[in-house]
Amino acid sequence: MNDSPSQLEPNLKVAPPMTIDPNSLSARELARRIKNGELSATSVIRQTLDRVTRVNPAINAIVQDCAEDAMAEAQYLDARIAAGDPVGPLAGVPVTIKVISDQTGYATTNGTTLAADLKATSDSPFLQNLRRNGAIVIGRTNTPAFSYRWFTSNKVHGTTLNPHNPDLTPGGSSGGAGAATSAGLGHIGHGTDIAGSVRYPAYACGIHGLRPTHGRIPMFNQTGGDRPIGAQLMAVSGPLARSVDDLRLALEGMSGYAADDPWSVPMPLRGPDFNRRVALVTHPGGINTDPRIVADLERSAEMFRSAGWTVETPDIPEIREAVDLQIDLWLSDDHAAKLTAARQENDPGAIALLEHYADRANAIDVAAFSQLFIRRAALVRAWRAFLGDYPVVLMPVSAELPFRKDEDLEGSETLTRLWESQLPQIAIPLLGLPAISISTGVENGVPSGVQLVAAPWREDICLTAGEVLEQGFGLPQIPE
């Protein structure tokens, strides 16, 4: 059968209209029912888009409308299923894509007016994989300008609000993905993470987020070409979802080797059995962790113990220096060009961040840049050895509960404090490790969560450990 939606055969029998809320089903169960004909993809996507129409105006999470394309893809999927054609494990599952990534026919804005008309003519490789596996894109989600901040607002798409509390940030840079997924606007949100931009929005919006190992999920934007070395080494795409199993299914659907991504590696998604041993770290690098987060970590440790895991409190390898190296490798490299673009965009958040680190960037020369990589190798080696003894590290996502909206615009002193609190997120990309942010619940409109870190290519350990905590804390709930 021709694989074009335009070749839909209108007389083929399809499933009856949707009679239940698709958000009451996991992504895996939703796809199963669509594939066996209990539900139609058309009804699922129509109901999801109707929810977007009702809910999204209040939070502005989805900023590029894909409704027409989504309905055409759903109709075509139903026709293929009715014809007996094989379909993928994500068949009919509604997903969102961050505006930082190429999607055919849509602008890859990265939250800027400078790229507002930069329309893609092909899909990024991870999106090709999602579509090949049957997922349907219902919309594209917001990001701060240049994806620099843990807050999500810009001049081209506006401000995204946290569905649980409009006075709090939805996180960044994948704040639109976090807000959309939290609000039930799609089962899976695509995000990107170079310093916490998947894990922090998940944390701030009361859901889960997975940062995979670098090279696991292929990425390339023809609209932007190749990126500087820091982004090439540390930036990844990853999923946000309301259940750990949805993250697992999303990881399976997004992963794989792609020729366009020189860093992509066709590694198996599951590794050998591992020792159920957890390292509990409540104050990594000496950060001043909020008492509620410490309590969440201690509760998490008890959940692991109750499930038969061993929990210990060893000293972890150096982590604070990893943050310094990450900042140098990401923000300092080509800093002058970054700052020029931020000023052209006239975005206060991007300008504040880059000016905050300007002196540090100006001190980087060729010798210092070379030394950076030497030190990185030593830190990576130490962490890999440690994770051989302790397959899971349980630590904060952040030292603080979710920040107030636009708190980073309150001055350099505040910015310093915010970046200090984000140490547990920022270090992980430099170290080349996968990590998962697990929601521990929402209290009085304020979400919280914890982070689990594993060895390279062991996302399966993150997911297995994450399910232990999900069973204890309960599934994240969509806010009313």
Reported in sequence order, the residue ranges of 322-406 that DSSP labels E, i.e. its strands, are: 392-396
Total Cβ atoms within 10 A of residue 399: 22
Nearest CA to 213 out of 263, 247, 262 is that of 263
Nearest CA to 31 out of 8, 15, 49 is that of 15
Nearest CA to 182 out of 246, 255, 91 is that of 246
Nearest CA to 145 out of 179, 175, 166 is that of 175
Selecting among 26, 124, 153, 173, the annotated active-site residue is: 173
Nearest CA to 93 out of 185, 4, 199 is that of 185
Whether the CB-CB separation of 77 and 134 falls below 8 Å is answered with yes
Give the integer Cα–Cα distance in Å for 103 and 256.
18
Whether the CB-CB separation of 165 and 445 falls below 8 Å is answered with yes
Stretch (H or E) spanning 190: strand 188-193
Instruction: State how far the alpha carbon of 239 is from the alpha carbons of 1, 210, 447, in Å.
Output: 31, 6, 19
Stretch (H or E) spanning 139: strand 136-141
Give the integer Cα–Cα distance in Å for 54 and 87.
30
* Amino acid at position 201, single letter: P
Selecting among 124, 197, 243, 264, the annotated active-site residue is: 197
Give the integer Cα–Cα distance in Å for 201 and 3.
36
Selecting among 98, 153, 237, 448, the annotated active-site residue is: 98
Give the integer Cα–Cα distance in Å for 22 and 185.
10
Structure tokens at 59: 């939070």
Annotated catalytic residue 6? no
Judged by DSSP in three states, 451 sits in strand
Stretch (H or E) spanning 385: helix 366-389
Beta strand 208-211 with 435-443: parallel, antiparallel or unpaired? antiparallel
Q: What share of the chain is helix, strand, coil (3-state, %, to 5)?
A: 45, 15, 40
Annotated catalytic residue 98? yes
Judged by DSSP in three states, 241 sits in strand
Give the integer Cα–Cα distance in Å for 304 and 36.
37
Nearest CA to 235 out of 248, 250, 219 is that of 219
| φ/ψ of residue 395, rounded to 5 | -145, 175
Catalytic residues: 98, 173, 197
